[in-house]
Amino acid sequence: MKDHFQIVRDYLLELGYDITAEDAEEQLFIINDEDEGIRNMVIDCEDPILIIEQFILDLKNVEGNVLRELLKKNREVVHGAFCLDDSGNRLLFRDTLQIENLDLNELEASINSLKLLMAEYSTQLIAFNNLSVMA
C-alpha cells in the first residue's frame, strides 16, 4: 500500500514549498509561498482524492454580479476553480486530484493554476474585496 501522505510531502518539498504545518493523523499539510500568492494553502490527502484549498477573500454582502463574474472566470481556470465555503461568505480556490496515481507534474500544475489566477486576476479580486468591505 502506498504512503500517499509521504509521497505528497516529498512532492511539496521537491517543488520548494514551505510546509508550515503537517498532521499525519489528519493527512494534511499547510504550505506557503507568499511571493507567489500561496498563503496557508491546505493540501488534504483524503483517499481517494487530494484536496487543494486556498482561502482568497471574504465576500460579505456582495451582489450577484460579483458571483457571476467569478463563475465566468472559472471557465478560464486551467485546474481548480473558485468556490464558496459552507457559509457562502468566503471565496476559495479548490482543486481535487486522484491520489492513487498522482504525480509531481500534476500537483505542480494544480498549484501553478492558482498562482496564474492570482497574478492575472488580482486587481479584480481586490475590487471585489473593496465592494464587500463597503457593503
pLDDT value at residue 8: 97
pLDDT value at residue 55: 95
Fold designation for 4-134: Yope Regulator; Chain: A, (3.30.1460)
User: Any idea which residue has 488580482 for its cell?
Assistant: 122
Three-state DSSP state, 7:
helix
Tens place of pLDDT per residue across the chain (135 aa): 589 999 999 999 999 999 999 999 999 999 999 888 899 999 999 999 999 999 998 887 777 788 888 899 999 999 999 999 998 889 999 999 999 999 999 999 999 999 988 888 888 888 877 765 554
pLDDT value at residue 2: 82
Nine cell digits for residue 89: 461568505
| C-alpha–C-alpha distance, residues 60 and 6, integer Å | 38
pTM listed for this prediction: 0.89
**DSSP bridge pairs for 50:** 45, 97
Q: Which helix (H) or strand (E) holds 25?
A: none
pLDDT value at residue 9: 97
